[in-house]
């Protein structure tokens, strides 16, 4: 059985945040991650859904 699902999104992407929050995900931590093969470093959020 799967107990949790994690995902990440760009911090400035409010549309993705809205979708994840509507699905029951909660913001868990701020992160930095690489985009475009490491050419761009951006701020992001780790979101997690925990089943009940």
pLDDT per residue as tens digits for the range 42-52? 999 999 999 97
pLDDT of residue 46: 95
Integer Rg of the chain from CA: 12
Cα 27 from Cα 41, distance rounded (Å) = 20
Cα 40 from Cα 42, distance rounded (Å) = 6
Q: How many CA atoms lie within 13 A of 5 on its CB side?
A: 10
pLDDT of residue 43: 93
Cα 43 from Cα 12, distance rounded (Å) = 8
30 touches 44 (CB < 8 A): yes
- pLDDT tens, position by position, 14-37: 999 999 999 999 999 999 988 888
pLDDT of residue 38: 81
């Amino acid at each position: 059985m799967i107990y949790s699902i994690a995902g990440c999104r760009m911090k400035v992407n409010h549309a993705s945040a809205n979708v994840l929050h509507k699905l029951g995900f909660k913001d868990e931590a701020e992160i930095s991650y690489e985009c475009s093969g490491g050419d761009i470093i951006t701020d992001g959020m780790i979101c997690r859904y925990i089943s009940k």
